[in-house]
Structures are given as structure tokens and as C-alpha cells.
Amino acid sequence: MHEGGLSRRLSPGPKLPYISFMDADVKLTRNQDVILGVLRHARKPLSAYQILEQTVASGIKAPPQIYRALEKLIEHRLVHRIESLNAYLVCDHAGHMHDVAFAICDSCGGVEEIPLQTMEPALKGSMAEHGFSVREAHVELRGDCGTCHATHRH
């Protein structure tokens, strides 16, 4: 994948049995740690079954184990679920408390995580005008990343 995609922003790192954010330490289970490691090394969002394929050697052998660990990683805001791709992505800003949008490139499959904190008040205000109370926002934008867009124009 090129620099406009996910691989540019994720770099392999050490195993993280403890993640520190928002003045709290999160102790990961062994399964959560293994799955977080797989996602940190991935070059694209992975489905639960793609994660399972990469964790069998670590002793994670059943989909429920994957889904339970992913649920907790999402709860701790260390992983995101990309709804339209039915796939999971490690969070670029682990532990953030703001909602994010995902820019998904239809050409290369790259996904960029984009914080919504500057747009969030306007979105919530607009929805409030319609009597809707927003608890959480999940925004996915589809198109071409800058590199693919430049390539298609030539």
C-alpha cells in the first residue's frame, strides 16, 4: 500500500500488555493483547475471520474468542469497527474520547481515521434542531485517497 493509506500511519511496535490513557491503565487479557498485536501489524482493516487465521498458532481457535476480545478492545477505544467493511482497525489515537470518521479508499483499500472533534458540535447541534439526541457518531466516507485520486487523473 502507498503512503496515502493505512500503512503509513501504523508501525509495528512492542507488545502492549498495559495501555495507558485518560489517566487510567487498562490491563489487556492475553487474547486481547494477541489480537491488538495482529491489528497493529496489519496493513489494512481485518475481518474477524482474518484475525482468527493469524491467531490460531497463539491458541485462539474460535470466533467467540475473537469477538469477545474485539468487543473489549472497542470498549477501551483501542480498536474501531469499520461497519461497511465488516472489519476492524487499530485506533490511531488510542484512548481518545472523541468520535471519528473513516475515509475509505475504494481503489487501494486504505483507511484513514479522522477525528470529528471540530465537526462534532455542528453535527450534534444540527441533529438537536430535529429533536434527535446524538450519543455516538459513526461516519464512513468512501472515495479515493490523495494518491489514488492523483493516479486516476493522469
How many angstroms separate the Cα of 7 from the Cα of each of 42, 112, 137?
8, 10, 25
Length of the chain: 154
Q: How confident is the model at residue 11 (pLDDT cuts 50, 70, 90)?
A: very low
User: What are the structural domains, with CATH classification, of the chain?
Assistant: 6-153 (1.10.10.10)
Contact residues for 29 (Cβ-Cβ < 8 A; gap 6+): 69, 72
In angstroms and rounded to an integer, the radius of gyration of the C-alpha atoms of the chain is 17
What's residue 95's pLDDT? 60
pTM of the predicted protein model: 0.75
Does the annotation list 140 as a binding residue?
no
The tens digit of pLDDT for each residue in 127-142 reads 999 999 888 778 899 9
Q: Where are the alpha helices (DSSP H) in the chain?
A: 30-41, 48-55, 63-75, 120-129, 146-153
Q: Which candidate, 95, 99, 55, 54, places its Cα nearest to that of 76? A: 95
The tens digit of pLDDT for each residue in 79-114 reads 999 999 999 999 877 666 678 889 999 999 899 988
Ranges 13-17, 20-24, 37-41, 123-127, most confident:
37-41
How far from chain centre, in Å, is Cα 104? Answer: 12
Does the annotation list 148 as a binding residue?
yes
Phi, psi of 30 (to 5 degrees): -60, -45
How many angstroms separate the Cα of 76 from the Cα of each of 33, 116, 132, 152?
13, 18, 26, 38
Does the annotation list 91 as a binding residue?
no
